[in-house]
Amino acid sequence: MDIDWSLLITAAGLAFVLEGIPYFLFAERMPKWLLTFAAQPPKFLRFVGLTAIILGLLTISFGRSLSF
């Protein structure tokens, strides 16, 4: 199996960019949101995580299906 390191590093960089956007745009609100999430039960957090994974996979699938 040959790994495309350039693509892997690009994807990691994109993940950092997307993760950083809410902290940059909503710096004042993020601590409150994080405390709200921390107070949620594990079942809810797993649901949110699974939803994010599914949306991410669908986005990747959609992006790879586009041809320019």
What is the DSSP secondary-structure string of 15-28?
A: HHHHHHHHHHHTTT
pTM of the entire structure? 0.71
pLDDT digits (tens, 9 = 90+) for 18-59: 999 999 999 999 999 999 999 999 999 999 999 999 998 998
- Whether 68 shows a pLDDT value over 80: the answer reads no
CB 26 within 8 A of CB 20: no
DSSP 21-67: HHHHHTTTTHHHHHHHHHTS-HHHHHHHHHHHHHHHHHHHHHHHH--
40-49, Cβ contacts within 8 angstroms, sequence gap of 24 or more: none
At 7 the pLDDT is 85
